[in-house]
Amino acid sequence: MALNCLPGKKSKLSPPGTPNGGGQHAPKRCSLVTETRIVGESMAEKRQGSKRNDLFIAPLCEGGLILLAGLAAWTLHKPLLFASLGPTAFELTEMPERASARPYNILVGHLIGVLSGFAALALTGAWHTPSVSTSQISLQRVGAAVLAALLTVFGTLLARATQPAALSTTLMIATGAMQHLEDGPIIMASILLITAAGEPLRRWRRRRAA
């Protein structure tokens, strides 16, 4: 790489007749300005290329994870495809460096969300009220949603398993979308499935971003 060389200052310490003395110029001082600029331009081009690739890679990775859950649901005739899989797939592929994208945070976070949702239903009595719809919502459901969110956030912070999508899971239970006891294992099975499939993608995406 080319270096940008700047002339040195005159030497005043050496007596006349000695090298670089008598007001002669000291050796040139070579700066790394040009080299730094070239490296900076190279890194900028690399980031631009990575962003262009993300336009195709990120949607394919996230869509692939959702497709996997959908095919499992279709094959097993179980509700393995639900809303909170979306933000989970998003973090695995687009935010691989976040702690909340780690398998521990995903699995423990969603488990706390599931347990909190069912606990909120039991404590508020919302289990026996109609599920939330566009036309009606009971105060018990409102209370269950609030309590489920509080318990989930508290539990994930306590366990150091912060996971934003766990709030979606717990609200899904508290509002009645998946409130049957057998829904709990189904939710966790689907979360486990896309975590197992998404962890290699997360590691690969993290290496690409480094």
pLDDT in tens, 146-157: 999 999 999 999
pLDDT in tens, 96-114: 999 999 999 999 999 999 9
What is the reported pLDDT for 56? 84
What is the reported pLDDT for 196? 97
Is residue 160 domain-resident?
yes
In this prediction, what percent of the chain has a pLDDT beyond 70? 74
Range of the domain at 161: 49-209
Distance CA 190, CA 3 (A): 57
- Report the domain count for the chain: 1
How many residues in the chain? 210
Is residue 117 domain-resident?
yes
pLDDT in tens, 125-180: 999 999 988 778 899 999 999 999 999 999 999 999 999 999 999 999 999 999 99
The H or E element containing residue 1 is none
CB count, 10 Å around CB of 98? 16
Is residue 90 domain-resident?
yes
- More confident of the two residues 43 and 190: 190
CB count, 10 Å around CB of 85? 25
The H or E element containing residue 167 is helix 165-174
Sequence-ordered list of residues with C-beta below 8 angstroms from that of 90, at least 6 positions apart, any chain = 62
Is residue 61 domain-resident?
yes
